[in-house]
Amino acid sequence: MTSNPARLQAIAAVQACTPPPFTFDPGEEPGEIFGENVFSLTVMQKRLPKSVYRSVLTTIEKSAPLDPAVADAVASAMKDWALEKGATHYAHVFYPLTGLTAEKHDSFLDPVGDGTALASFSGKTLVQGEPDASSFPNGGLRNTFEARGYTGWDVMSPAYVLENPNGNTLCIPTIFISMTGEALDHKTPVLRSQQAMSAQAKRVLSLFGHEEPENVVAFCGPEQEYFLVDSHFFHARPDLLNAGRTLFGAKPPKGQEFDDHYFGAIPERVLGFMMDTERELFKLGIPAKTRHNEVAPGQFEVAPMFERANEASDHQQLTMTTFRAVAKKHGMECLFHEKPFAGVNGSGKHVNFSIGNSEQGNLLLPGDTPHENAQFLVFCAAVIRAVHLYGGLLRVSVASASNDHRLGANEAPPAIISIFLGDQLADVFDQIAKGGATRSKEKGTLMIGVDTLPDLSKDPGDRNRTSPFAFTGNRFEFRAPGSLQTVAGPMVILNTIMAEALDHCATVLEAAVADGTDFDEAVQQLLTSIISDHGAVIFNGNGYSEEWQVEAEQRGLKNLRTTVDALPELVTPEALELFEKYGVFNEREMHSRYEVGIEQYVMTVGVEANLTLEIGSTTVLPAAIRYQTELASNVATLKAAGVEADTSTLEAVTTPLTALRAGLAALSSAIEGAHEHEGIEEAAYCRDTVLPAMAAVREAADELEGLVADDLWPLPTYQEMLYIL
């Protein structure tokens, strides 16, 4: 019987692979290259006229309207700088509702009458571009024949030069809107929601005696988890290649049971990749700070420093692009899917969220005695109110077909949105609910019992890895976002619901003070009211326990288990009113995102279902039949020779093989049935009928993987992909 050596050839190729060495200039000072490819404030200060620079700086630092008169001067300086960096083209980079980055490259060179070319780049070209608006997901905002859309320069996010062996490109972050001015992207609502949140936060700060406070901005620090797989394995797995996750694969003998991968020594090949990516990120001004092995084998994490949310969102997209490109240079593929491998931890993109400005600093910093920090308590209470009232919107901000495989599994938080405050803050708010806080739990000292070791300080509260929204000392960590998603979605929701909560706080305090109530007393009444009305969202226990599911329902918290359950939250009357009130989305934009969410879910499940059918029918089934035929032939040969044959192995293979055939037939029927539905009903059909049919095919195939002879099994296995790097 002829075997299929493709998988075994892939293993041999991986083992023979010699990763490229990490090359760097030994004389290069640490930090020397940071931001060298960014058209930063420092670069602008050197190249722009003083008046132009001051105008741009005022827009960036104070959120003042951009003076159109400065565009030509900025464009000229930007062009000259980019040409010196070797750029031949420029691109308006925008972020459509695909969740990916989009760009159209144009040359700086324009022909002139004498047969030569002249490099040009005007302010008009810098400020506005015109891509096709009907070819991207728009949820019905634009018909196919209504193609016009616009990109608009976002001065708040710096331009940069992206290097490529075949030529460099000046990249200009932009918004993307339709001809009617409606948002077709992720950046526009981030900027709108930021503006809305700042206006309400400044009202609260003014009540605390800060005259004309600076604009308040949201800060974001996204922790990015990812898997690395050798390219030979990746290209031998059509499911990874087309869907980003394995649709087949038996559990390996060793998974993550020993916890030996987490924070373990980074493999040499992976460390070379990390150093290479970090150097590229540094050149682009992306402040990558932390790198380490994650819990699952083959899984890793990078975490940047905090940045303004708008810039952090852009940098996150650029980080994923950079990781994918550099991984290929090292003979690997970087997987950002939330659950590329079943049975081990999935990957998230924990969004660390805080708000503040340069005058008052971080407004979510409690200090050593938070019970005395009334300003912090009001902003923290606003978070509690926001998450309780709009937990459904936070859930839908992380909803996708891919993240559904992760939420509630292993290290991921559940789909129930709750807040973990920690012992110290929970105690303070408990005191407030009972009439007033008079004390805060203090930090302690750990007594280790070793004279040579220094005393270690002990925080007044622990952390909770099962909470989807946890306070971690000076920020909230939203742990539900998926690794494949843009952080713009969660930031839009967080900014908007904080705008509503801060608006509520400011309105209540203003009315109380106007009625003659002492301000401190008004603050106490506000905090008591919020914790009484919205304290149900606070949960410091085990978010993975079954008991919490029951308790959460009793508290009235939503448990939106799947994307199909969550998407309708976008178009509730409360949501439409919220986003309209604060100028973030109009009703058409909200409905468009609802429609895009449904469409993306159905298409994702559809692609995976077709892949399952194809791989199951053309790869797994033939391999199993070959092995069954080989076993049957051996049994027949032994019987012909008068020898009693053991048929147990043949019978063991025949049972799941029969199940595989039946499963493939059922899946084919389920795929056809999807066309009989549309909209949210089609999404529900995919969830309730197509996904279970795929699971049945996988169950049979994975059982066969443990039975079929190794030299016949065609797909690289989990133990190979996760452990051979």
- The predicted pLDDT at position 442 comes to 83
Across residues 442-459, what is the average pLDDT? 77
- Lowest-pLDDT choice from 9-18, 238-247, 646-655: 9-18
CA distance 667 to 686: 11
Across residues 184-209, what is the average pLDDT? 97
- The predicted pLDDT at position 21 comes to 63
CA distance 447 to 435: 35
The predicted-structure confidence for 639-675, as pLDDT tens digits, reads as follows 889 898 889 999 999 999 999 999 999 999 999 999 8
CA distance 303 to 282: 13
- Which two three-digit tokens encode residue 121? 């780049």
- The predicted pLDDT at position 446 comes to 75
- The predicted pLDDT at position 4 comes to 54
Backbone angles phi, psi at 65, to 5 degrees: -60, 145
The predicted-structure confidence for 550-583, as pLDDT tens digits, reads as follows 999 999 999 999 999 999 999 999 999 999 999 9
- The predicted pLDDT at position 705 comes to 97
In which band, very low, low, confident or very high, does the pLDDT at 273 lie, cut at 50, 70 and 90? very high
Across residues 334-353, what is the average pLDDT? 95
Query: Using an 8 Å Cβ cutoff, are 500 and 579 in contact?
Result: no
Backbone angles phi, psi at 171, to 5 degrees: -110, 130
- The predicted pLDDT at position 410 comes to 55
Tell me 132's DSSP state.
B
CA distance 581 to 500: 9
In which band, very low, low, confident or very high, does the pLDDT at 23 lie, cut at 50, 70 and 90? low
Backbone angles phi, psi at 10, to 5 degrees: -65, -40
Helix (H) or strand (E) segment spanning residue 42: helix 41-47
- The predicted pLDDT at position 528 comes to 94
The predicted-structure confidence for 575-588, as pLDDT tens digits, reads as follows 999 999 999 999 99
Radius of gyration of the chain (CA): 28
Residue 24 has pLDDT above 80, yes or no: no
Tell me 307's DSSP state.
E
Residue 116 has pLDDT above 60, yes or no: yes
Residue 3 has pLDDT above 70, yes or no: no
- The predicted pLDDT at position 255 comes to 87
- The predicted pLDDT at position 592 comes to 96
- The predicted pLDDT at position 559 comes to 94
pLDDT averaged over every residue in the chain: 92
In which band, very low, low, confident or very high, does the pLDDT at 464 lie, cut at 50, 70 and 90? confident
The predicted-structure confidence for 64-99, as pLDDT tens digits, reads as follows 888 888 999 999 999 999 999 999 999 999 999 998
- The predicted pLDDT at position 645 comes to 81
Residue 2 has pLDDT above 60, yes or no: no
| Closest CA relative to residue 13, chosen from 227, 229, 230, 228 | 230
The three state secondary structure string of 385-445 is HHHHHCHHHHHHCCCCCCHHHCCCCCCCCCCECCEECHHHHHHHHHHHHCCCCCCCCCCEE
- Which two three-digit tokens encode residue 319? 């980080």
In which band, very low, low, confident or very high, does the pLDDT at 363 lie, cut at 50, 70 and 90? very high
- The predicted pLDDT at position 9 comes to 81
Residue 251 has pLDDT above 90, yes or no: yes
Residue type (1 letter), 162: L
Range from 103-117, 420-434, 651-665 that averages highest in pLDDT: 651-665
Angle, CA of 284, 286 and 292, to the nearest 5°:
125
Number of H helices, E strands in the chain: 24, 20
- Lowest-pLDDT choice from 132-146, 194-208, 440-454, 498-512: 440-454
Residue 409 has pLDDT above 80, yes or no: no
CA distance 229 to 723: 9
Percent of the chain beyond pLDDT 70?
A: 97
H helices of 459-572, in order, are 488-514, 519-534, 546-555, 563-566
